Amino acid sequence: MGEIEGRRCGAFGQQDGSARWRVWAPNARRVDLVLIRPDGRRDVRPMRAEPHRGTNAGHFHHTEPDVPDGRRYAYRLDGGEDRPDPCSLWQPDGVPGPSAVYRPGRFRWTDGGWNGVSREDLVIYELHVGTFTPEGTFEAVIPRLPALKELGVTAIEIMPVNQFPGSRNWGYDGVLPYAAQNTYGGPQALQKLVDGCHAAGLAAILDVVYNHVGPEGNYLGDFGPYFTDKYRTPWGKAVNYDDRGSDGVRDWVLDNARMWLGEFHFDGLRLDAVHAIYDLGARHVLRSIRQVADEVEAATGRAIHVIAESDQNDPRILQPPGRGGYGMDAQWSDDFHHAVHSYLTGETRGYYSDYGEARQVAQALRTPFLFAWDYSPHRGRKHGSPPEGLGGDRFVVCIQNHDQVGNRAKGDRISTLVRDPAKQRLAASLMLLSPYLPLLFMGEEYGETRSFPFFCSFHGEQLIQAVREGRKREFADFLGNGETVPDPAAVETFESAKLSWSWPEGTVHGGLRRMYRDLLAARRGWPAMRDFVNRTARLVGEEGAGGVVELVRGTDAGASAGQLRAYFNLAARAAPLPSPTGPSEKVLFSSESSGYCGTRKKLADVKELLPFECIAIGPDEWKPLG
């Protein structure tokens, strides 16, 4: 085991009880540390400017004796207003209140024997802390972890928890990326959650936002050149990764990644919208983030995963640096979701206008990029590049996620969009039998019908109104007749997103969850399901009639010989089974099994596919489901 490089800036508690503060503030000539007593009185301490030039220019530091955890402090730049620490770990009073000293090294971890989860074993469960439980806290998640483990999940992916204004937010409006949201329980409670994940046998992945900073309570520009006018993102100014003064900004981001992976023991990071991270320098910041992950992995012995979200269908994200890539472990593949969603719901508005054909469902099982330098009518240009030489375990697919649910007029889920439970079971079967890494959005495993609309709790009325109007404009393509966008600032909108966490036995919800559990067990037990390279997929029959998609995974050669054949009926009427069971084969699974609240009573002698049914066939020795 090696040593993990520490943070360069922030408040650092020393073993003798003292604390040392260091801040990067090249925009200021003078920086004062403001220590706030419990009674509110303020003690002002001048910070010493460090004499270095170049990368180290603009740093100030100060050491103070006898500083307990929880001591509030702020920085005062050139005699101006008090500002929270850009590297604050704790904001007990929220934004824009003072920061507080926190010593993460004092936490007593119990995960000494934890080595993580290998990439090919990842089954990711995306959750939002504020709506996953009635309490909406880090610690309230812990009692639910055993149920996720029993389901077959191997990793939770927590939507961003960096400090945001107010108490309600998806997390993508955070302004202090080092601080764990105070209303969720703060940094110590987050450490407890990660430790609890490892105790339950689950990896913990954190969604981080390195492409923009939220609009309210953002004081970073007072300190230094954190942003650049060279580029624009959909959310405002871009983070400065390649313009003048960007060295300090890059350090700030890389130290943040190192802190979450090292000091907070996260097993991976999901990088939000990397297509909005602009860096034309010779060493892209994404590659530097991967290097940080490699260093933590080498020092701890834990498997560390960096997963990128991108809508560019660009294989460079995954390719190694030697081939001009960024070396990410995996990336989200939107095409799979869009192909399945558009076909089963019939939606063809907005970006769904590129999808909706049955052949694309088959194609999405064959390749993660449906557009690989192909013409996209929605974009009006060619899009993507072929993902040559990349296995299926480098791509994360879903039938729901926070974006695809929340970025709708009402935040409605697939369970309310398709209505027919058979369609929902078919969609889940396509994802869970696919040759990719599955991501479940919280509640989908039992067909949660409660919505997940966008919500926030900004303080400024002008900003709130701008968000309201912006949501209406942004998703106008997805509004039906008479539909309106729920008020993002209303408490009721937030409350409507909280999970019911209910799947009574004998109901469609209970049957769906059982099917998810069985198929996730099959991903572990059927050898072909661990083969992410050998697969074929094709559409059988006439596309106009819906047709049947045939997926074949695995190979008849080698130690793990055995092929899985899965057939997906995309039509609302029965269809002949294209290829019946052969010698030494049997039907292993039906999405319409009565055990899943379908109508099929037995798996023997199957000759036709029921409407929207999936049938899987494999060797006799493989364990059947249902």
Q: What is the DSSP letter of 446?
A: G
**Which residue has 């067909």 as its token pair?**
447
Environment class of 50 (CB within 10 Å of its CB; exposed 0-12, middle 13-18, buried 19+) = middle
User: Does one domain contain both 343 and 321?
Assistant: no
In a domain, 506, yes or no: no
pLDDT at 474: 75
Dihedral (Cα; 196, 202, 204, 205), 10-degree rounding:
-160
Q: What is the pLDDT of residues 451-462, one digit of tens each?
A: 999 999 999 999
Provide the residue range defining the domain that includes 614.
Answer: 532-619
User: Does one domain contain both 207 and 313?
Assistant: yes
pLDDT at 545 over 70: no
Report the distance separating Cα 235 and Cα 474, nearest Å.
12
Q: Is 272 a catalytic residue?
A: yes
Instruction: Return the SS3 of 168.
Output: coil
In a domain, 114, yes or no: no
> From the candidates 32, 126, 173, 309, which is the catalytic residue?
309
Nearest by Cα to 343 from 364, 327, 333, 357: 357
User: Does one domain contain both 297 and 389?
Assistant: yes
- Report whether 330 contacts 395 (CB < 8 A): yes
- Report whether 426 contacts 515 (CB < 8 A): no
Last-in-domain residue among 53, 71, 106: 106
Q: Is 585 a catalytic residue?
A: no
Domain total in the chain:
4
Nearest by Cα to 441 from 479, 414, 410, 478: 414
Instruction: Return the SS3 of 72.
Output: strand
Q: What is the pLDDT of residues 41-60, one digit of tens each?
A: 999 999 999 987 666 689 99
**Which residue has 């940094």 as its token pair?**
187
- Paired sense of beta strands 437-441 and 395-397, if any: parallel
- Report whether 135 contacts 141 (CB < 8 A): no
In a domain, 128, yes or no: yes
In a domain, 31, yes or no: yes
CATH number, domain of 301, equals: 3.20.20.80
pLDDT at 3 over 80: no
Find the mean pLDDT for residues 600-609: 94
Last-in-domain residue among 380, 412, 440: 380
Last-in-domain residue among 40, 73, 106: 106
Cis peptide bond upstream of 96, omega within 30: yes
Q: How confident is the model at residue 511 (pLDDT cuts 50, 70, 90)?
A: very high
User: Does one domain contain both 303 and 185?
Assistant: yes
Q: What H or E segment, with its residue span, contains residue 199? A: helix 186-199
**Which residue has 């074929």 as its token pair?**
536
The whole-chain average pLDDT of the chain stands at 95
> From the candidates 272, 314, 329, 448, which is the catalytic residue?
272
**Which residue has 């269908």 as its token pair?**
313
User: Does one domain contain both 366 and 479?
Assistant: no
CATH number, domain of 17, equals: 2.60.40.10
Among 41-50, 183-192, 234-243, 469-478, name the one with the lowest average pLDDT: 469-478
